[in-house]
Structure 1
Amino acid sequence: MHKYFIFFIFFIQYSYSQNYRVIYDFTYKPDSLKKDSDNLEMVLDVQKDYTKFYYKKLIKLDSLVRSGSIISYTFPIQQIIKRKTSSFKNENFVNVAGIYYNYPSIDDIKWKILPQTKLSDNYKLQKAEAIWGGRKWIAWFSLEMPVSEGPYKFKGLPGLIFEVKDSNDNFNYKLVSINKIL
Structure 2
Amino acid sequence: MKKLGIIALALFMQTAFAQTNRFVYQVTMKPDASNKNDVKTENAYLDISQEKSLFYSENRAKRDSIMQAMFQSGGARGFNRDQMENLRSNINYSIEKDKKNQKTTFKDRIGRDVYTYEEDRPLNWKISSETTKIGEYKVQKAETDFGGRKWTAWFTTDLPYQDGPYKFNGLPGLIVKVEDDKGEYSFDLMKNYKIVEIPTLNQFGNTIKVKRADFVKQQEKFKKDPMSFMAQGGGGFAQTRIGGGGGIAPPRSGGGGRGGDNGDFRKRMEERIKEEAQKNSNPIELQ
TM-score calculated relative to the size of structure 1? 0.82
SS in 1 for 2:119: strand
Q: C-alpha offsets along residues 12-57 of structure 1, whole Å, 9 cap, x if unaligned?
A: xx99x94210000000101345232111211000111111000011
2:174 to 160, 164, 167: 160
1:24 paired to 2:38: no
Off by >4 Å, runs of 4+ in structure 1: 69-74
1:67-146 equivalence runs, <5 A: 67=69, 68=71, 75-85=89-99, 88-146=102-160
Structure 1: 5+ residue stretches without partners: 1-13
Separation in 2 of the partners of 1:65 and 1:151? 26
Q: Letter of the aligned partner of 2:20 in structure 1?
A: N
Amino acid in the other structure paired with 1:112 = K
Larger radius of gyration: 2
Shift of the 141–86 alpha-carbon distance from structure 1 to 2, 3 Å rule, reads farther
Other-structure match for 2:268: none
Length, aligned pairs only: 168
Give the number of the structure whose residues are more often strand, by fraction.
1
Over the residues paired in the alignment, what is the CA RMSD in angstroms? 2.4
Identical aligned residues as a percent: 33
Gaps of 5+ in 2: 1-14, 197-287
Following the alignment from structure 2 to structure 1, what is the Cα–Cα distance between the partners of residues 139 and 32?
Answer: 30
C-alpha distance in 1 between matches for 2:62 and 2:91: 18
Moved more, 71-80 or 167-176: 71-80
Q: Which moved more, 1:65-74 or 1:135-144?
A: 65-74
> How many angstroms apart in 1 are the aligned matches of 2:153 and 2:100?
18
- Contact 1:89–1:105 under 8 Å retained in 2: yes
Contact 2:151 2:179 (C-alpha < 8 Å) held by counterparts: yes
**Which residue does 1:9 correspond to in 2?**
none
